[in-house]
Structure 1
Amino acid sequence: MEQKKLDLNSIIGFVLIFGILIWIMYQNQPTEADLAAEKAKKELVVKEETKAKETVAQVVATDAAVTTGDTLQLAQLQKSLGNFAYSATLPSATAAFTTIENEMVKLKIANKGGYIVELVLKNHEKFKKGSGELVELIKDNNANFNIQLLTSDNRTLNTKDLFFEPTLTKNGADQILSMRLKAGENEFLEYKYVLKPNEYMIDFDIRSQGLNKVLNTSKSLDLQWDLKTNRNEKSVSYENRYTEVAYQYEEDKHNYVGQGDDKEETPEKVSYIAFKQHFFSSILLTNTPFETSMLKSYNLVKDDEVDTTYTKQFKATIPLAFTNGELDYKMNWYFGPSDYKTLKSYDKNLEKIIPLGWGIFGWINKFVFIPLFGFLSSYIAYGIAIIIFTVLIKIAMSPITYKSFLSQAKMKVLRPEITELGEKYKKDAMKKQQETMKLYNKAGVNPMAGCIPALIQLPFMYASFQFFPSAFILRQKSFLWADDLSSFDEIAKLPFHIPMYGSHISLFPILAAVAIFFYMKMTSGDQQMAAPQQEGMPDMAKMMKIMIYVSPLMMLIFFNSYGAGLSLYNFISNLITIGIMFVIKNYIVDSDKIHAQIQENKLKEPKKQGKFQQKLQEVMAQQEAIKAEQKKK
């Protein structure tokens, strides 16, 4: 048989095939990023497998120890958990839950950790009423409650990793759930929950018994409470603006951690900590003030246009002190609406977490706006209540509006004479001011009379900016095209996003902007006539012309994402002001009578100057004397 030999063509073919294979392998080799991703994925898988194995091992060890009394496995648990291995050998050492509920809330409490893992508000829905999706303040591991235990044999254990034994009893209509982390039959750490009928407030006690030899009682134990706040409202940016940590300290002082990406406060003598969302709050109260605390807030919303589940991350670290070798804290949980009336009913200063404004602004809201609007809204629809509420406020302010307009009318009558004085003393500004003051005094006109009424109205305007965004009773209440007066009244969705404006069009801000435009157009002429141009000052006429267009534009832009209730209030308020000004200008104030009265006042003996005017004249005279001395030199 003829022996086969490799010819040149075969050799070349093999080389080419080998080269192609090498090239394919080179092109498909992983990049550094691919290698890093694969490594991270493997590490995560290993970590999860290890965690699963540890969990299975613990369950197996627990079951085996309980059912067979295996001395070896009990020793292993003892080595890992110390005295608290006792809890791991009880039948309750499983991933079980206990549910308690009343008419307001439903709580699901886990054996592992002894804390609430689900909390539903049964009478409040997310986003849009009728959706059927209830507000859940705690779900999907967004909350954590843990006490870091320091044992006498130098172990560090976390209650969130240990099993509590539940015991549910009743005392009349009250439901009492005792969760005990046991180190022995009569040695335990207890969380005690008491849920009463028709209440958002839950009694919550933390106490220990017989642990003075198990725990290191020379140091405080750190209580760690974390919460990622779920989004519950239509506008993420609007909800996030009013989501923050509030707290009360030193008996009755109140403060906020503040907005921002990373905020922190360390208050002392804290009596309650509130993880406040826009319209719902989770609050921890204590009868024994916490000596110190560390409160943190992290913003989780980086882009308002991206749909998000959570708005902020809150963290509280609180040292719990021992008393006679044991823990004993009488506390409460509040899980419910951030509603002023509801919070105030508990008489624990909880209503202070509602941002009603400081000083006079807060007083106006507390003693005028809240009682008046609460009364109106209890009898009529909320949208109509806002309109009537606005009408009543504007009627109450109408005497002040009249005083302001009357002062403008008087200044308008004096304008020619003031202009004449300006021309006469063009080169002597001080003399011009003195003569102008004499003219005011002689004519019986107070140039400040127009400013004071306007200043009186400002607190009411600012109070409304605090009241409406905080009015829980407006949540999911509809009016005309607005399906929720506490959020924006979208009439059209834009296919793009406009910076500062948004990606939707709200109608009430447009109406409010139109109303403020016509109001400013109506009053700008009178203000220009009443206010004489001062030397060295910007042209008032030009400024007013600019403001006529700038103010409505600002209203249009910034109120587009605000609650419809506030925009409705501003629209009706400006509309009523236009009406009041029209009536005053055309039917009440008579320019001819004002002119005659001023001329009559000039013939009378000038009124005695007030202390302010006298002091102003003295200062002006001193400045004039200094100026004269400087000229001599």
Structure 2
Amino acid sequence: MEEKKIDINSIIGFVLIFGILVYMMYTNKPTEEEQAAQEQAKQEQVEAEKKVAENDVAVTTAEDYSVATISDSTQLVALNNKLGAFAYSSTLPSATNNETVVENGVLSLKFSNKGGYLSEIKLNKFVDFDSVPIYLVRDGNTDFNINFGTTDSRILNTKDLYFQPTVTKNGENTVVSMKLKVSPEKYLEYRYELKPNDYMVDFTIQSKGLNNVINSSQEVNLDWKLDTYRHDQSISYENRYTRLTYQYEEGKIDKLSQAGEDEETIQDLKWLSYRQHFFSSILVSKEPLKNVRITSKDLVANEDIDTLFTKQFTTKLPLAFQAGEINQPLQFYFGPTDSKILKKYDDNLDESIPFGWGIFGWINKALFIPLFGFLSGFLPYGIAIIVMTILIKLLMSFVQYKQFLSQAKLKVLKPELDEIKEKYKDNKMKAQQETMALQNKAGASPLSGCLPGLIQLPVFYALFMFFPTAFDLRQKSFLWADDLSSYDAVATLPFKIPFYGDHVSLFPILAAIAIFFYMKMTTGQQMASQPTQEGMPDMAKMMKYMIYLSPLMMLFFFNNYASGLSLYYFISNIISIGIMLVIKNYILDEDKIHAQIQVNKKKPKKQNKFQKKMADMMEQAEHQKQAQQKRKK
């Protein structure tokens, strides 16, 4: 009897549940207005696909959107409870994870229905070090989302909602419209416009009829995050030149930290660049943006393990309302970090490239970039580097001449300087005074050799910044180097040497050997002629250490650097050795220098302000010393 009772109760319960479900389905069935809206959405989709076919736009969509409508009234109620007015977007045929694909020649872009964002960005003309096509966005390495509140107290994210795609033509341009709808005529739109063979994409965020749906009294933020893919052979080298750069306050350029984590809140932001060494994703605004928060995080803690991404960049951008609606015109640049291309656009986008600050950047932009562009226009890239190096060294040869002349004068004066040192060996201050006086009369001040050397520093540093950022060198071969923008490995090691790596690059070795012989010749000359001053560091000993330390630093530091830079240093030092030999053997004559020094010593020599001040200070110090000695006695 009990088993029968249980069976009867189960049947009764099942009938009751079934009856309740039937009642709910009947009472919550779509109204005539909702059914009309769904039919209109279907018609819009058909018309959009018809326009695509008529305009012959390169677009890929699903042949049949699998989710046409949500017929289950229970699901519709749940959506309304969760999304409010935006539940309508999930009832449309586009409420799927399908993607729309558009090409403009240089870019292949995929737009995701879910979120309406660019889910894939491919640069058609480039491949990475392993011949894989360059993707700036792929496989979920980006988040693009608007977080907003609604007037019915909901907090929603566009990345969770479905946009309706349409692709049309505006003249030669391709327009992709992604609309997040609350009704057929009310929506939030991402509007992308692509020009043929152009890396710049016009992008507008705008709303229509949402002034009573989106709560404009709450902050509405656009969040853009990107984990930057590794594209270069050396991830540590690429990571060094992967950086978030931005322009603000009418032309000022700044950057987030190169390593670790960094963040900043910017006022009057004009553009920001997620630079991935040779490729960039740049957000540009037509009007300055307020209160933009940006962050940078280094993702390469261990380059043996962290080999996929280099850095993570994020941007939080508040969107402004006008009459309760959003209208934010922006632009995106997805392309090479190439100064020639970036200069074609306004807003100083080429300043996102680290040419160096101040005079160093000016030298690169005014001299080296145009010069190399001219030479590489008709010469192979490796030969262009060699020819540019020769021209620079010939231009700077007068500096070498001044340095060597100063060394020769000091060498001629060394016997007299040694006599002064011996004569005043018990009075070091007096010895220094007499040494300075003799050098001044003879026109052989050590500073006259140092100052010309300082002139070379801006050129040296400018070229140090030029080669790692020269996009034209990327994947250009020369001799055994497959890529002048990367290291030229001639051997792979079975182990890794700290600060050196797991490979052997040949150009840094050649450059180190050339630097060693050049310093051996020049520094040896300086050590022979440089007098030792009491109380001063032993310059001869320091120079001796530098002869071996500098080549060693070159060997380790440049093993992972661009081979084009090492090629430059190798050729530069070879030419310097040649120029020095010519100056020493055919231009300078020590007998003539000695005769000229004797003539200079007889002429009255007027001290400049610095020399006079130094002499006065030394004389005062000498008087104080003598006074102290008298008091002791």
Q: Shared fold (TM-score greater than 0.5)?
A: yes
* 1:430 shift after superposition: 2.3
- Does the CA contact (< 8 Å) of 2:432 and 2:533 recur in 1? no
Residue pairs, 1:499-578, within 5 angstroms: 499-578=498-577
**Letter of the structure 2 residue corresponding to residue 216 of structure 1:** N
Structure 2 residue matching 1:541: 3-state secondary structure: helix
| Partner Cα distance (1:494, 1:228) in 2 | 30
| Partner Cα distance (1:111, 1:203) in 2 | 19
* 1:628 shift after superposition: 3.4
Q: Which residue of 2 aligns with 1:126?
A: 128
Q: Which residue of 2 aligns with 1:396?
A: 395
- Does the CA contact (< 8 Å) of 1:83 and 1:214 recur in 2? yes
C-alpha change, 1:86 and 1:68, in structure 2 (3 Å) is: closer
C-alpha change, 1:65 and 1:575, in structure 2 (3 Å) is: closer
Q: Which residue of 1 aligns with 2:20?
A: none
| Partner Cα distance (1:118, 1:72) in 2 | 35
Structure 2 residue matching 1:84: 3-state secondary structure: helix
Between stretches 497-506 and 184-193, larger displacement belongs to 184-193
* 1:273 shift after superposition: 1.7
Q: Which residue of 2 aligns with 1:232?
A: 231
Residue pairs, 1:168-247, within 5 angstroms: 168-247=167-246
| Partner Cα distance (2:89, 2:426) in 1 | 94
Q: Which residue of 1 aligns with 2:253?
A: 254
Give unmatched runs, 5+ long, in structure 1.
1-61
C-alpha change, 1:230 and 1:64, in structure 2 (3 Å) is: closer
Residue pairs, 1:199-598, within 5 angstroms: 199-306=198-305, 308-598=307-597
C-alpha change, 1:138 and 1:523, in structure 2 (3 Å) is: same
Match of residue 97, structure 1, among 92, 96, 99? 99
| Partner Cα distance (1:397, 1:109) in 2 | 54
Aligned length: 568
C-alpha change, 1:409 and 1:140, in structure 2 (3 Å) is: same
C-alpha change, 1:198 and 1:307, in structure 2 (3 Å) is: same
- Does the CA contact (< 8 Å) of 2:296 and 2:314 recur in 1? yes
Q: Which residue of 2 aligns with 1:88?
A: 90
Match of residue 616, structure 1, among 604, 614, 617? 614
* 1:485 shift after superposition: 0.4
* 1:371 shift after superposition: 0.9
* 1:361 shift after superposition: 1.1
* 1:69 shift after superposition: 6.0
C-alpha change, 1:435 and 1:517, in structure 2 (3 Å) is: same
**CA-to-aligned-CA distance 1:148-193 (integer Å, 9 cap, x gap):** 0210111011001101111211112100111111112222111110
| Partner Cα distance (2:562, 2:444) in 1 | 42
- Does the CA contact (< 8 Å) of 1:288 and 1:329 recur in 2? no
- Does the CA contact (< 8 Å) of 1:219 and 1:321 recur in 2? no
**Letter of the structure 1 residue corresponding to residue 442 of structure 2:** A
**CA-to-aligned-CA distance 1:335-373 (integer Å, 9 cap, x gap):** 001112211221211111111111111111111111111
* 1:294 shift after superposition: 1.9
Q: Output the aligned Cα RMSD.
A: 1.7
Q: Which residue of 1 aligns with 2:12?
A: none
**CA-to-aligned-CA distance 1:554-604 (integer Å, 9 cap, x gap):** 11111111110000000000110000001101111000110111112223x
Between stretches 99-108 and 73-82, larger displacement belongs to 73-82
**CA-to-aligned-CA distance 1:32-62 (integer Å, 9 cap, x gap):** xxxxxxxxxxxxxxxxxxxxxxxxxxxxxx9
Sequence identity percentage? 58
Q: Give the TM-score normalised by the residue count of structure 1.
A: 0.87
Match of residue 628, structure 1, among 622, 626, 629? 626
| Partner Cα distance (2:199, 2:411) in 1 | 60
Q: Which residue of 2 aligns with 1:46?
A: none
**CA-to-aligned-CA distance 1:532-575 (integer Å, 9 cap, x gap):** 11112333332222211111111111111111000000000011
**Letter of the structure 2 residue corresponding to residue 196 of structure 1:** K
* 1:67 shift after superposition: 5.0
| Partner Cα distance (1:600, 1:313) in 2 | 67
Q: Which residue of 2 aligns with 1:115?
A: 117
**CA-to-aligned-CA distance 1:84-111 (integer Å, 9 cap, x gap):** 1111112221222111111211100011
| Partner Cα distance (1:420, 1:552) in 2 | 36
**CA-to-aligned-CA distance 1:197-255 (integer Å, 9 cap, x gap):** 12100000111111111011012211110111111111111111111211112221111
Residue pairs, 1:30-69, within 5 angstroms: 67=69
- Does the CA contact (< 8 Å) of 1:65 and 1:71 recur in 2? no
Q: Which residue of 1 aligns with 2:52?
A: none
Between stretches 275-284 and 621-630, larger displacement belongs to 621-630
* 1:289 shift after superposition: 2.1
* 1:65 shift after superposition: 9.8
Structure 1 residue 146 corresponds to structure 2 residue 148: no
| Partner Cα distance (1:564, 1:65) in 2 | 55
| Partner Cα distance (2:506, 2:445) in 1 | 42
C-alpha change, 1:319 and 1:485, in structure 2 (3 Å) is: same
**Letter of the structure 2 residue corresponding to residue 505 of structure 1:** V
Between stretches 612-621 and 587-596, larger displacement belongs to 612-621
C-alpha change, 1:585 and 1:119, in structure 2 (3 Å) is: same
Structure 2 residue matching 1:266: 3-state secondary structure: strand
| Partner Cα distance (2:440, 2:298) in 1 | 58
C-alpha change, 1:134 and 1:427, in structure 2 (3 Å) is: same
| Partner Cα distance (1:551, 1:508) in 2 | 15
- Does the CA contact (< 8 Å) of 1:296 and 1:314 recur in 2? yes
Give unmatched runs, 5+ long, in structure 2.
1-37, 39-64
Q: Which residue of 2 aligns with 1:77?
A: 79
**Letter of the structure 2 residue corresponding to residue 215 of structure 1:** I
Q: Which residue of 2 aligns with 1:10?
A: none
| Partner Cα distance (2:289, 2:235) in 1 | 33
* 1:68 shift after superposition: 7.7
| Partner Cα distance (1:151, 1:485) in 2 | 54
- Does the CA contact (< 8 Å) of 2:69 and 2:91 recur in 1? no
| Partner Cα distance (1:598, 1:245) in 2 | 56
- Does the CA contact (< 8 Å) of 1:193 and 1:205 recur in 2? yes
**Letter of the structure 2 residue corresponding to residue 624 of structure 1:** E
Q: Which residue of 2 aligns with 1:58?
A: none
- Does the CA contact (< 8 Å) of 2:530 and 2:540 recur in 1? no
| Partner Cα distance (1:72, 1:557) in 2 | 68
- Does the CA contact (< 8 Å) of 1:270 and 1:293 recur in 2? yes
| Partner Cα distance (2:111, 2:375) in 1 | 41
Q: Give the TM-score normalised by the residue count of structure 2.
A: 0.87
- Does the CA contact (< 8 Å) of 2:107 and 2:123 recur in 1? yes
- Does the CA contact (< 8 Å) of 1:65 and 1:73 recur in 2? no
- Does the CA contact (< 8 Å) of 1:194 and 1:202 recur in 2? yes
Structure 2 residue matching 1:229: 3-state secondary structure: strand
**Letter of the structure 1 residue corresponding to residue 303 of structure 2:** D
Q: Which residue of 2 aligns with 1:15?
A: none
| Partner Cα distance (1:553, 1:621) in 2 | 43
**Letter of the structure 2 residue corresponding to residue 111 of structure 1:** N
* 1:64 shift after superposition: 11
